[in-house]
Chains A and B, each alone.
Chain A
Amino acid sequence: RKEVEQDPGPFNVPEGATVAFNCTYSNSASQSFFWYRQDCRKEPKLLMSVYSSGNEDGRFTAQLNRASQYISLLIRDSKLSDSATYLCVPSYNFNKFYFGSGTKLNVKP
């Protein structure tokens, strides 16, 4: 079983749309959770941490369900610059990350 399962997409959405990504993880010992974004041929960059109570950062909202081992990311009012691959990353061992395939988002004009 994979450590992290994500729908690879691509999700093709128009500008201004709301889009949601989901992710499931297999290691119940995971303690920290992050969403990273990766642009083509670049390193991953932290988008936001995910807290148990859920958290919001501008147009981005993240939710965590530990019981179901499920993480979500909601992007409102999509911008062209949001086009990237979004990586769901649970961490349980000093930030040793096992990445899933990521979900590719294409925001169209």
Chain B
Amino acid sequence: GAVVSQHPSWVICKSGTSVKIECRSLDFQATTMFWYRQFPKQSLMLMATSNEGSKATYEQGVEKDKFLINHASLTLSTLTVTSAHPEDSSFYICSATYVRGDTEAFFGQGTRLTVV
């Protein structure tokens, strides 16, 4: 199957700093990628849809100025958590598809963010 690589797999940062997470499709081009967040013992929550060459679409309740998404190429989307606080500590996962239609989504390995 297609491969999606996410980096870093884990990161610890201080409150007030910003953290960038990368999501790459390694062997296919992804016009659309999705970013999810998962708190312990909770379900994956869709945060935003990342569209190559255009602005991201955010789900209700997700602050676009807090979670900056850039999808500058067909193989890379980045999520930047700005001015991180302990409540932003979570598991962040991206997914990508390579066919416009109803095919499976391929997930990155996830990034565990801890803000101290």
A98 and B110 contact, Cβ closer than 8 Å, known pairs A32-B102, A49-B104: no
Q: Could you say which interface size class chain B belongs to?
A: 20 to 34
Determine the distance from Cα of A27 to Cα of B109 in the docked complex, in whole angstroms.
28
Contact check, B43 vs A97: say whether CB atoms are below 8 A apart. Answer: no
Contact check, A95 vs B105: say whether CB atoms are below 8 A apart. Answer: yes
Chain A interface residue count, Cβ-Cβ cutoff 8 angstroms:
22
Contact check, B110 vs A94: say whether CB atoms are below 8 A apart. Answer: no
Contact check, A43 vs B45: say whether CB atoms are below 8 A apart. Answer: no
Confirm or deny: B44 has a beta carbon within 8 angstroms of a beta carbon on chain A: yes
Determine the distance from Cα of A60 to Cα of B102 in the docked complex, in whole angstroms.
21
Instruction: Select the stretch in B11-19, B70-78, B90-98 that faces chain A.
Output: B90-98
Instruction: Encode contact with B along A27-49: 1 for CB under 8 Å, 0 otherwise.
Output: 00001101000100111111001
Using A94-B32, A97-B95 as known contacts, list a sample of 19 further A-B pairs with CB atoms less than 8 Å apart, ordered by residue number in A.
A31-B102, A32-B102, A38-B44, A43-B107, A44-B107, A46-B104, A87-B43, A91-B102, A94-B97, A94-B101, A95-B32, A95-B34, A95-B97, A96-B34, A96-B46, A97-B44, A97-B46, A97-B105, A101-B43
Name A residues whose Cβ lies closer than 8 Å to a Cβ of B: 31-32, 34, 38, 41-46, 49, 87, 91, 94-102
